[in-house]
A and B are shown apart, each in its own frame.
Chain A
Amino acid sequence: MCVFQSTINYFPEEVLEHVFDFLSSHRDRNAVSLVCKSWCRVERFSREKVFVGNCYAVSPERLLSTFPRVRSLTLKGKPHFADFNLVPPDWGGYLHPWIDAMVKARANLEELRLKRMVLSDDTLDLLAHSFPSFKSLVLVSCEGFTTDGLAAIAANCRSLRELDLQENEVEDRRGQWLSCFPDSCTSLVSLNFACLKGEVNLAALERLVARCPNLRSLRLNHAVPLDALQRILAQAPHLVDLGTGSFVHDPDSETYHKLKNAIQNCTSIRSLSGFLEVASRCLPSIYPLCSSLTSLNLSYAPGIYSNELVNLIRHCKKLERLWILDTIGDKGLGVVASTCKELQELRVFPFDPHGVGYTAVTEEGLVAVSAGCPKLNSILYFCQQMTNAALITVAKNCPNFIRFRLCTLNPTVPDAVTQLPLDEGFGAIVQSCKGLKRLSVSGLLTDQVFLYIGMYAEQLEMLSIAFAGESDKGMLYVLNGCKKLKKLEIRDSPFGDVALLADMGKYETMRSLWMSSCEVTLEACKKLAMKMPRLNVEIINENEQMEASTDDKQKVEKMYLYRTLVGPRKDAPAFVWTL
């Protein structure tokens, strides 16, 4: 060991640093920093990209002192179930302290990627004014800001290359944020404002596109009509990724004709999305693009009917990623299976989750795709029904799943044919897919499925459970078996104190645990919090009765616990009680 150390230390730190430069994954870098003190130090000072999976696991100040050269920061805030309204607003996940700390530390921030965080216009303004090299802002499922904040970014970030807004709740202030990009801004590579609800200044948009020769990715919102799209495409034929806004026009018009020509010139487009408003009669104009498309997202396009979807997909032989609505139907998925042989990722969203009048997809569609697409490794599938036989077949056909998320529209529906629980089906999936990292189960499920998961899902990092299981044993199987588990989220399942407290140390190896509407009592949570000071055990109680009550035996409605280096957070709202 000593020999090894001295041999390694023979290399000057610059060399080590250069070697570490080739490590881009934060996991690799984390591993490297554990080797020895000097490697840790070199790695620390050379790390430019930092990933923080839970913004409350570490403080901004501590992060900056550990990684003083940070240039790119990824932050995730609210727990995943916040996406489904299970977390009350004002829970937390504020960006401001991070920007504040970085300003004070005079960090040279260039990139910021946020997921489920809350940020205000003031924060954006501060950000825009504080970091002269700021290049890239990616916001996913964030909220709290308005188009005024975007205007601040547009106006002040001179080197801005990327502004990517995905599925954020942005209040539209009817300002002219797009016009705030100065004429001197010519560096844009990626602009995505598809999630904005309001009008944009079309002339400003067209001028912006015209003066940004490096623009490769452009996603418009629904307020951009087809004629504007045509003019934009004429200016930006080198686009690689396009998200259309409104795609409605008279197919006999000259505009439409010009659009078709413009599209024919866009030979680089590989990724297509949008169609937020669409008339199917206009779709043939994009057929020329289809043969080279690798990614197609029509999940926000409810206006495309099954047979038209199918016609479109028949042209897309190179598709690797497809996001669609379940209006495509099982038959349509059959067409996907026979056409898209390169398909790796498929997401089928419910057109109307509480809907009527059409048949959502069933197990047939899934089986067809698994049979026809050998490279399939990631699936999110909302379906009306499922069977064990189908899942077993899918498992056999596709042993390469990395992400497997199945959501039956009725969360406890049994096997549609045998009426049995879906344990065996999911069991087959985890047994066959040895590389499975993410799994969401649904349907009627007993403890048995968790036995299988614990036994076979060795690489599993994230597991989502809802309305499943019968007893603490289920959760115990998972906690004991899945060694690489990082995130566990459970709702409406009968797991209680015994499971929660069985292996308290496990939670320090995980990022977080969410349990809502389970059988966990306040007493157990308190016990856990007391024994594990490096965990924050938060009780989310919207009734505000819980703290006052002295009954430790009462069940906890929502519990979120996560490992942290910095103790209870100071920005918790009244309804969050950190034990």
Chain B
Amino acid sequence: MSTPLLGVGEEEGQSNVSLLTSSSSLDSSRQNGSVFKERNYMGLSECSSVDSSTISNISDGSNGSCLNLKATELRLGLPGSQSPERDSELCLVSSTKLDEKPLFPLHPLKDGNCSNLQRTITSGNKRGFSDAMDGFSEGKFSEVNVMLSPRPSLNSSMKSVSAKETTGTQAAKLKEVVPQSTVQERPRTVNESVSNRVGATSNNTGAPAPKAQVVGWPPVKSFRKNSLASTSKVAEEVDGKSGPGALFVKVSMDGAPYLRKVDLRTYSTYQDLSSALEKMFSCFTIGQCGSHGVEGKEVLSESKLKDLLHGSEYVLTYEDKDGDWMLVGDVPWEMFIDTCKRLRIMKSSDAIGLAPRAVEKNRSRN
């Protein structure tokens, strides 16, 4: 159902109440005339003066105000699941990671009126999860931004973040508020790097770089959290990778307009990697590469590699820890994963002399 799950306060100081509830309950509470009280969750009394009594206006008066509040509502849900008008924005992000099931559609970022996303106080009948993070408007944006990985959307969101931060006294309050808070933790489903960047943006405006988070969520023992953090860091130092949970490396292809990233951990053989790359870059290659990708995976690696190397114009190489460009396929898979920093699908013409030898090696190995 189409539910305004989160209301957003207006810049003029009307702070909306965030209700992570169904609209029916919102209706009923309005009917009962209950007043949603401001809750000063951060213990910052100076912010508690925001008038909350206009909540009932906001929900049905969203058309009346100059700000299009409906569009600025943060909603929980899949992109496009509730609001058709957002589709155009979501197309940007829908191409990838749909299975990540982003929680917040991006539309607030597209809407220039998003200053009202900044709310000083969590308030009211229900302290929603997002309320708990209200001290971090930047963080909130990061949450919104974070949901989908593609960078284009991030860039635009970052711009809108900085735009927002200059508007509204509430913004200023928040920035003061943020350093005092002890809230540090926040669940996150995707792209920590994304939100870190947003955090960096907020740094420019004086707030600390939040991992804008909720204290104690997810409920993992701090001992466990600290342990995993330190052991992953060790692994990072050892591998130079972004954590042992995934091993993303950039894949560039000569002539392609943009690069891709693959998680080497999801493959266990060169064959897997090769077919995945073929699929990924098939849209850029003319001829055999693409068609081979379609045919199927159980083909012998030798013929595949040969095709990739010979039949098409490309050679798969990687940059190792020492910075040298090596032909993929020489070393055992495990060792390859340990040393590979990035991949490059090189034009055969650049790899003259390399390809034939590679085929020989593969033939002898297979």
Q: Which residues of A does B touch, CB under 8 Å?
A: 81, 83-86, 141, 167-169, 195, 222, 276-277, 280-281, 299-300, 302-307, 325, 327, 349-360, 382, 384-385, 407, 409-414, 416, 419-421, 440, 444, 446, 464, 466-467, 469-471, 491-494, 517-519, 542-543, 545, 555, 557
The answer to whether A305 touches B127 (Cβ under 8 A) is no
- Distance between Cα atoms of A167 and B128 in the complex (Å): 31
Q: Point out the residues of chain A lying under 8 angstroms from B190, CB to CB.
A: 356
Q: CB of B47 within 8 A of chain A?
A: no
Q: Contact at B188–A355, with CB atoms within 8 Å?
A: yes
Residues of B within 8 A of A414 (CB): 76-77
> Is the CB–CB distance between A492 and B127 below 8 Å?
yes
Residue of A nearest to B225 (CB): A353
A564 to B192, CA, bound (A): 45
Residue of B nearest to A553 (CB): B37
Q: Min CB distance, A491 to chain B, in Å?
A: 7
In the complex, number of A-B residue pairs with CB atoms less than 8 Å apart: 199
Given contacts A83-B219, A419-B81, contact A409 B132 (CB under 8 A): no
Supposing A307-B268, A352-B243, A352-B245 touch, asked if A409 and B222 sit within 8 A by C-beta, the answer is: no
CB distance from A422 to the nearest CB of B (A): 12
Which of the residues A86, A299, A355, A555 comes within 8 Å of B224, measured between beta carbons? Answer: A299
Q: Which residues of A contact B232 (CB under 8 A)?
A: 302, 352
Contact partner of A305 (CB less than 8 A), chosen from B41, B131, B234, B244, is B244
The distance in angstroms between the C-alpha atoms of A464 and B219, with both chains bound, is: 11
Take A411-B129, A414-B76 as given contacts and tell me if A354 and B221 are in contact as well, using a CB distance cutoff of 8 Å: no
New contact pairs (11) apart from A351-B228, A353-B185, A353-B187, CB-CB < 8 Å: A85-B215, A167-B221, A303-B231, A304-B244, A305-B245, A327-B244, A353-B188, A353-B220, A416-B101, A467-B20, A467-B129
Roughly how many angstroms separate A35 CA and B237 CA in the complex, as a whole number?
A: 64
Contact present for B216 and A382 (CB under 8 Å): no
A349-B224, A446-B22 given as contacts; is B127 within 8 A of A517 (CB)? yes
Interface string of B175-199 (1 = CB under 8 A from A): 0000000000111111111100000
Judging by beta carbons under 8 Å apart, are B128 and A356 in contact? Answer: no
Q: Which chain B residue has the least Cβ–Cβ distance from A355?
A: B192
> Chain B, interface size: which category?
35 or more
Q: Does B91 contact A (CB under 8 A)?
A: no
Interface check B263, CB cutoff 8 A: yes
A410 near B129 (CB under 8 angstroms)? yes
Contact of B218 among A407, A444, A493 (CB under 8 A): A407
Taking a contact as CB atoms under 8 Å apart, the answer to whether B25 and A446 are in contact is yes
B223 at the interface (CB under 8 A from A): yes
**Distance between A91 CB and nearest chain B CB, rounded to angstroms:** 14
CB-defined A-B contacts under 8 Å, sample of 24: A84-B215, A84-B219, A141-B223, A302-B228, A302-B232, A305-B244, A305-B265, A306-B265, A358-B263, A359-B100, A384-B100, A410-B187, A411-B217, A412-B20, A412-B76, A416-B78, A419-B77, A420-B1, A466-B219, A467-B132, A469-B126, A470-B21, A492-B131, A519-B39
CA distance A173 to B227 in the complex (A): 19
Chain A residues with Cβ under 8 A from B186's Cβ? 354
B101, A542: Cβ atoms under 8 Å?
no
The answer to whether B191 touches A354, judged by C-beta atoms less than 8 angstroms apart, is: no
The answer on a CB contact under 8 Å between A557 and B43 is yes
Contact of B263 with A357 in the complex, beta carbons under 8 Å: yes
| B252-268 interface with A by 8 A CB criterion | 263, 265-266, 268
Contact between chains at A359 and B125 (CB < 8 Å): no
* 8 A Cβ contacts from B36-70 to A: 37, 39, 41, 43, 45
Q: How far is the CA of A304 from the CA of B187 in the complex (A)?
A: 23
- Kindly list the 9 A-B residue pairs having the minimum CB-CB distance in the complex, ordered from nearest: A84-B216, A356-B192, A412-B129, A354-B188, A494-B126, A357-B246, A358-B246, A167-B223, A358-B245
A491 x B216 contact (CB < 8 A) = yes
Instruction: Give the docked Cα–Cα distance between A215 and B180 (Å).
Output: 51
Chain A residues positioned under 8 Å from B37 (CB to CB): 555
CB distance from B128 to the nearest CB of A (A): 6
CA distance A476 to B1 in the complex (A): 27
Q: CA–CA, A385 to B187, complex, Å?
A: 12
Q: Is B103 engaged at the interface, CB distance under 8 Å to the other chain?
A: yes
- How many angstroms from the CA of A81 to the CA of B315 in the assembled complex? 55
Residue with the highest number of chain B CB atoms closer than 10 Å, among A81, A84, A281 = A84
Knowing A303-B231, A353-B218, A543-B43, say if A411 contacts B77 (CB, 8 Å).
no
- Chain B residues with CB below 8 A from A440, complex form: 219
> Which residue of the partner chain A has the closest CB to B124?
A494
For B3, what are the chain A residues with a Cβ–Cβ distance below 8 Å?
Answer: 419
Closest to A251 in B: B334
- CB pair A409 B187 closer than 8 Å: yes
Q: How far is the CA of A414 from the CA of B100 in the complex (A)?
A: 14
- Cα A407 to Cα B110 with chains together (Å): 31
A382 to B334, CA, bound (A): 29
Interface string of B116-142 (1 = CB under 8 A from A): 000000001111111110000000000
Q: How far is the CA of A303 from the CA of B337 in the complex (A)?
A: 13
User: Are the CB atoms of B268 and A354 closer together than 8 Å?
Assistant: no
- Check B222 against A83 for contact (C-beta < 8 Å): yes
- Bound together, the chains give a CA A213 to CA B218 distance in angstroms of 42
Q: Is the CB of A167 within 8 A of B224?
A: yes
Which residue in chain A gives the minimum CB-CB distance to B26? A470
Give the one of A299, A414, A545, A557 with max B CB within 10 A.
Answer: A414
Contact partner, A349, options B1, B220, B248, Cβ 8 Å = B220
**Given A83-B221, A356-B191, A411-B187 in contact, is the A276-B231 Cβ separation under 8 Å?**
yes
* Shortest distance from the beta carbon of A435 to any chain B beta carbon, whole Å: 23
Chain B residues closer than 8 Å to A360, beta-carbon distance: 189
| B351 proximal to A (CB < 8 A) | no
Question: Which residues from chain B contact A420 at a C-beta distance below 8 Å?
Answer: 1
**B187–A351 CB distance below 8 A:** no
Chain A residues with Cβ below 8 Å from B265 are: 305-307
**What B residues does A470 contact at CB under 8 A?**
21, 25, 125-126
* Residues in B neighbouring A446, C-beta threshold 8 A: 21-22, 25
Tell me which residues across on chain A come within 8 A of B200, comparing CB atoms: none
Chain A nearest CB, measured from B103 CB (Å): 6
Task: Give Cα distance in the complex from A482 to B330, angstroms.
Answer: 64
Closest A residue, CB atoms, query B82: A419
Query: In the complex the two chains form, is B103's CB within 8 Å of A413's CB?
Result: yes
CA distance A352 to B228 in the complex (A): 8
In chain A, what residue has the closest Cβ to B143?
A410
Contacts of A281 in B (CB 8 A): 334
CB distance from B34 to the nearest CB of A (A): 9
Residue from B78, B125, B187, B334 having most chain A Cβ neighbours under 10 A: B187
Specify the chain B residue showing the minimal Cβ separation from A197. Answer: B230
Q: Which residues of A contact B132 (CB under 8 A)?
A: 467, 492, 517
Cβ-defined contact, B103 with A410, below 8 A: yes
- In the complex, which residues of chain A have a beta carbon less than 8 angstroms from the beta carbon of B43? 542-543, 545, 557
Chain B: minimal CB distance from A417 (Å): 9
CA of A495 to CA of B242 in the docked complex: distance in angstroms?
42
- B99 interface contact, C-beta 8 A: yes
Shortest CB-to-CB span from A545 to chain B, Å, is 7
Q: Contact between A382 and B189 (Cβ–Cβ < 8 Å)? A: no
Shortest CB distance B185–A (Å): 7
* Given known A-B contacts A303-B244, A469-B126, A86 and B231 have beta carbons under 8 A apart: no
Q: Whose C-beta in chain B lies nearest to the C-beta of A307? A: B268
Q: Would A382 and B218 be within 8 Å (CB), given that A354-B192, A358-B263, A543-B43 are in contact?
A: yes
Q: Chain A residue with minimal CB distance to B196?
A: A356
Q: Which of A222, A300, A410, A464 has the most CB of B within 10 A?
A: A410
Counting CB contacts under 8 A, is B354 at the interface? no
How far in angstroms is the closest Cβ of chain B from A459? 23
Chain A residues whose CB sits within 8 angstroms of the CB of B191 once the complex forms: 356-357
What's the Cα separation between A105 and B271 when bound, in Å?
Answer: 73
Evaluate contact between B220 and A382: CB separation under 8 angstroms: yes
Chain A CB within 8 A of B172 CB: no
Q: Is the CB of B215 within 8 A of A412?
A: no
Query: Nearest Cβ distance between residue B38 and chain A, in whole angstroms?
Result: 10
Distance in angstroms between the alpha carbons of A307 and B191 in the assembled complex = 23
Task: Please state if B224 and A303 are interface contacts (CB–CB under 8 Å).
Answer: no
Which residues of the other chain, B, contact A464 by a CB distance below 8 angstroms? 219
